[in-house]
Chain A
Amino acid sequence: MISKPQPRPFADEAALARTPSPLAFDWLLAIAMLGLIGASIAMMATTTVGDVEGSPHYYTVRQAAYGAGGLVLMLLLARIDYSRFRELRFGLYAVMLACITAVLLLGATTRGSQRWIELPFFTFQPSELGKVLLIVALAAFVIERSWRASELQRTARLLLVGALPAALVLLQPDLGTALVYVVITVTVLFVSGVKWTHFAALGGVSAAVAALALVAAPAVGQPVLTDYQADRLTAFVNPSDDPRGEGYQINQSLVAIGSGQKVGRGDEATQSRLDFLPERHTDFIFAAVGERYGFVGAALILSLYALLIWRGLRILTLSKNFYGSLIASGIVAMLMFQVFVNVGMNVGLAPITGIPLPLLSYGGTSMLVTCMAIGLLQSIYIQARLVQKSRDPLF
């Protein structure tokens, strides 16, 4: 555990900042992350063998490489004082917008949406990177001093900062990731202390917009969501209504998880081995875990995420400055939302949105970006340790 830091009267903050101890990590956070990456590689090794002809370990090897790359990125970011990103806020924000726009212009279209840019080694998904960039930039905008405006105006402007990339992502169309942007924005504003009344107003406006998009607009023949999106969003309510159509994936996922029972079916995991479970290495990897390793395995994975989020919240309260707290809040929001929406979708509690499970789902960009986010958390932790603020952690 973390020993209670003692005040050091002669400590030079700046000098210490330049030379953090190589082992000064939040080790629990690191363990949660390494455990999840390890689990991901193990799942690739057991459930995707032979999926790609001629290359039996295609997904395993790649996911291991992404994990290693993510680890390096995390270590690098952990060594950098995140506070420096504050000055780069406009640059980061611009890069984010440029990336997301680029994918609209040159992205590869898969199943009706453009989300990826083909690179020589892997397909890059800018909207994933955009999440972290948005967090770092948005947190910086929040603590911007130069703004001379009423609190309401400030809230509105900050909302706009988050809404712009969300709208661009929605155009791809990628509803799930757009929602992640929205959740990040709202959470950062929430933690920054935006007034309750503003949230109430925001809630009202969202409800009105949702009503407009889902009820009023289709009624006048101008649907906002495509049929495919609407089907996916509603299928989870009653999957057996249409077991051949949209409900199929949810049904198969439920059957996979349920059939795992207490300790799982191991190599008898037929749902994932015989293709009944769709996207078993990406969106529905949690169901594959549930089938193969049962309640024990699924609970272990969930516990690792709980650990991750607990450490994130703890780091939020430890941060040496408010910028760090806001970044931590954005990262916690991002991880929480993705975990709950993805796992919720796997267990039939949430609609199908195509949000990957952080660190576990196969995918280079998601892996690297999640590792970067955890690297930022480690950086906040290390910086907090360096300034030796003796403060009781809230969690």
Chain B
Amino acid sequence: MMYRSDTRTPITPQLALRVAMLGAAALVLFGLIFFRLWYLQVLSGDVYLAEANDNRIREIKVHAPRGKILDRNGEVLVDNRTGLAVQIEPNRLPRGREDRADLYRRLGPLLRMRPERIYREIREQTEELSYTAVTLRQDVSYERVYYLQEHADEFPGVKVERVFLRRYPKGTRAAHLLGYVGEISGEQLEERENADREQGDIIGQSGIEFVYDRFLRGRNGASRIQVDANGRPKGELSEREAVPGENLRLTLDNAVQRAGEEALSRRGLPGGFVAINPKNGEVLGLGSYPTFEPKVFTQPLNQRQVDELFRQGEESPISNRAIQGLYPAGSSWKPVTAVASLEGGLIGPDSIINDPGSLDVGGISVSNAGGGAYGAISVRRALQVSSNVFFAKLGQMANSAGDGMLVQKWAHALGIGRPSGLDLPHEEPGRVPSPGWRNQLFEQGETDRPWTVGDNINLAIGQGDLLTNPLHLAVGYATIANRGRVPTPRLGLRVEEAGGRPLQEIRAEERRVPMNGQNAAAIMEGLRLASMEGGTGAGVFGGFPVQVAGKTGTAEVQGKGDQSWFVAVAPYEDPEIVIALTIERGGFGSEAAAPAAREVLEAYFNIRPQDIEESPDQGPGGPAPID
């Protein structure tokens, strides 16, 4: 019955049941698929639509060009050039460990990086900020980038971005104060002033770039593009233009800066200098030697570069000796002692103190450099010849006057040993030793003796435990030249539009200390005499067409050669510039630092060699005092 053909097949109950089951199965399966479609498209459609858009839309950051940094005359110290950076998007890398290793192997030769280095960079950078693009190399050549873009599907997770790189047209000029830029760190992202920043943004990380970042940074734009499954761009959807950063004009004078840097590098010894305008605190020059190429920071540093920049000890090129140096000031300190003694009433401008050539107090012996004795002298003459005995006596007197803190208090009033307010990070305040400081150390067992009068005598002549730097001495001298007005040194002059239109002047607060004009005048006269016949700076500044008031300094440094100093104010009648310059192991101030400082002054006053009168090698009063 069952297996007959060509006869009518009656629909047997069995066939009917089985066909019905077939139909029921179809019904159930169709129902299942309908419900699934309903769920996917109607109930979860938004989620999938968002995912589809996430698939296809890439937001490409358009970096804003950073503002330029100019010197006070508009000379470009830092500007930008464009470069192509190769980056890795970690979440788009192949999943398989082997696939990734293979990708790094193929990418390595293109970027001139070892695959292990690529792996390490990605691991280290994603540890801090996961899911952000990892920059492997900036400044990749166009040919290599074209290759990468043409073979985009062979390099999943690799993308190329146009970036602005800092360019330093003057090489090492002002390297120590410009600072460098770098990708924002996770910690920095959380800071309030970086609220408008995003991962991967470039911000100033040190120096001027850091301090004035909010003006220089500009605002990044964004370009939303559509990409296909292989990451190839398929048209732009929208764009927000980048707003370039504003230019920053510095108070720095390129000519002064160059002269200072060259003066130091010609001598080949570590040192630093600061030149400021005493009237307003504008920093005309600030430099340190040894120096470095700021452009090294536009690429990830290799170990050799790190070792070179941060090498141990005092040879490190990265440290800015002008504001971070810790040096005894030697005789360059004497005007500070003079101010304290005059203002503290220990002496008057015309008081006479006998200089017999040496002084033995409290177990220490002080004698004049060169062994001379200057007899009965006033503060002017004492400064001119740099009498150690005269100032040692003042130190001795100050130690027993009042609380014994006269010199220390006046140092502080002159801005020494405290933050100057300079717009650069990492300024070292140095150390002005005091009885309280040493006695506390002694109580803690960290030193072998308490404060004695000898310590104050050493301080009075800029020796002993005193540690300071050119910036602070420059501010101190400027205050004396200003008759008590303490300038706040600053590097920022104004913020300008790209076209040069001023947007905002940068101002700094001023401080005042009460200072008797006659006292200050007496000290200035002494400093002026020091640069004239019979003074310590006469050999250097004799015949100099601008009247210079300055003081040499030769400080003994334990275990090293003498620290050479020169601090000067010029012109004497109406000071426009204060220069403080120091050279480690330079020897006598008059032999190393003073000639170097003169080069800076020549640059500032635009003095050519023929303008300088031939001066007699020696004054009629015998050999000039040295210090």
Query: Given A260-B41, A336-B26, A394-B16, 19 more contacts at CB 8 Å?
Result: A143-B5, A144-B3, A145-B4, A187-B22, A245-B95, A261-B49, A270-B53, A271-B52, A276-B55, A294-B41, A295-B37, A298-B37, A310-B23, A313-B23, A317-B16, A321-B5, A322-B5, A389-B8, A394-B11
CB of A242 within 8 A of chain B? Answer: yes
**Shortest Cβ distance from A232 into chain B, in angstroms?**
17
Which of chain B's residues has its CB closest to A337's CB? B29
Which residues on A sit within 8 Å (CB–CB) of B195? none
Q: Is the CB of A191 within 8 A of B32?
A: no
What are 30 A-B interface contacts by the 8 Å CB criterion?
A83-B5, A83-B6, A143-B4, A145-B4, A245-B95, A245-B96, A255-B55, A256-B52, A257-B48, A258-B52, A259-B49, A259-B52, A261-B41, A261-B45, A271-B55, A275-B230, A276-B52, A290-B41, A291-B52, A294-B41, A302-B37, A305-B30, A310-B26, A317-B11, A321-B8, A322-B9, A333-B22, A348-B36, A389-B8, A394-B11
Which of chain B's residues has its CB closest to A140's CB? B5
Which residues on A sit within 8 Å (CB–CB) of B229? 252, 274-276
Q: Is the CB of B19 within 8 A of A317?
A: yes
Residue-wise, chain A 173-194 has the 8 Å CB interface mask toward B (1 for contact) of 0000000000000010011110
Given contacts A255-B48, A302-B30, contact A145 B3 (CB under 8 A): yes
Residue-wise, chain A 24-35 has the 8 Å CB interface mask toward B (1 for contact) of 000000000000
Which of chain B's residues has its CB closest to A251's CB? B51
Which residues on B sit within 8 Å (CB–CB) of A310? 23, 26
A332 to B14: give the CA distance in the assembly, Å. Answer: 18
Q: Is the CB of A313 within 8 A of B34?
A: no
When the two chains form the complex, which single residue of B25, B36, B51, B56 contacts A349, counting CB atoms closer than 8 Å?
A: B36
When the two chains form the complex, which single residue of B18, B49, B56 contacts A190, counting CB atoms closer than 8 Å?
A: B18
A-B pairs, top 6 by smallest CB distance, nearest first, are A258-B48, A261-B45, A259-B52, A275-B229, A244-B95, A274-B228
Segment at the B interface, from A95-103, A117-125, A339-347, A371-379:
A339-347
A349 to B37: give the CA distance in the assembly, Å. Answer: 11
Interface hits, A159-203 → B, CB 8 Å: 187, 190-193
Which of chain B's residues has its CB closest to A325's CB? B9
**Shortest Cβ distance from A329 into chain B, in angstroms?**
7
Which residues on B sit within 8 Å (CB–CB) of A298? 37, 41
Which residues on B sit within 8 Å (CB–CB) of A347? 33, 36-37, 40
CB of A254 within 8 A of chain B? Answer: yes
Interface on A for B, CB 8 Å cutoff?
Answer: 83, 86, 142-145, 187, 190-193, 242-245, 252, 254-262, 265, 270-271, 274-276, 290-291, 294-295, 298-299, 302, 305-306, 309-310, 313, 316-317, 319-323, 325, 329, 332-333, 336, 340, 343-344, 347-349, 387, 389, 391, 394-395
Q: Is the CB of A258 within 8 A of B40?
A: yes
Which of chain A's residues has its CB closest to B229's CB? A275
Which of chain A's residues has its CB closest to B230's CB? A275
**Shortest Cβ distance from B316 into chain A, in angstroms?**
47
Residue-wise, chain B 59-92 has the 8 Å CB interface mask toward A (1 for contact) of 0000000000000000000000000000000000
A143 to B9: give the CA distance in the assembly, Å. Answer: 12
Which residues on B sit within 8 Å (CB–CB) of A348? 36, 40
Residue with the greatest number of chain A CB neighbours at <10 A, chosen from B12, B51, B52: B52
CB of B38 within 8 A of chain A? Answer: yes
A306 to B28: give the CA distance in the assembly, Å. Answer: 11
Given contacts A270-B55, A295-B38, A298-B37, contact A349 B95 (CB under 8 A): no
Which residues on A sit within 8 Å (CB–CB) of B9? 319-322, 325
**Shortest Cβ distance from A240 into chain B, in angstroms?**
11
Q: Is the CB of B19 within 8 A of A316?
A: yes
A387 to B8: give the CA distance in the assembly, Å. Answer: 9
**Shortest Cβ distance from A308 into chain B, in angstroms?**
10
A344 to B44: give the CA distance in the assembly, Å. Answer: 17
Which residues on B sit within 8 Å (CB–CB) of A144? 3
Which residues on B sit within 8 Å (CB–CB) of A340? 29, 33
A58 to B38: give the CA distance in the assembly, Å. Answer: 33
Which residues on B sit within 8 Å (CB–CB) of A329? 19, 22
Q: Is the CB of A306 within 8 A of B51?
A: no
CB of B7 within 8 A of chain A? Answer: yes
Which residues on A sit within 8 Å (CB–CB) of B8? 320-321, 387, 389
A305 to B29: give the CA distance in the assembly, Å. Answer: 12
CB of B401 within 8 A of chain A? Answer: no
Q: Is the CB of B51 within 8 A of A257?
A: no
Q: Is the CB of B56 within 8 A of A270?
A: yes
When the two chains form the complex, which single residue of A254, A276, A333, A387 contacts B40, counting CB atoms closer than 8 Å?
A: A254
Q: Is the CB of A276 within 8 A of B228?
A: yes
Q: Is the CB of A258 within 8 A of B33?
A: no
A252 to B51: give the CA distance in the assembly, Å. Answer: 9
A259 to B56: give the CA distance in the assembly, Å. Answer: 13
Q: Is the CB of B4 within 8 A of A322?
A: yes
Residue-wise, chain B 333-363 has the 8 Å CB interface mask toward A (1 for contact) of 0000000000000000000000000000000
**Shortest Cβ distance from A227 into chain B, in angstroms?**
13
Which of chain B's residues has its CB closest to A276's CB? B229
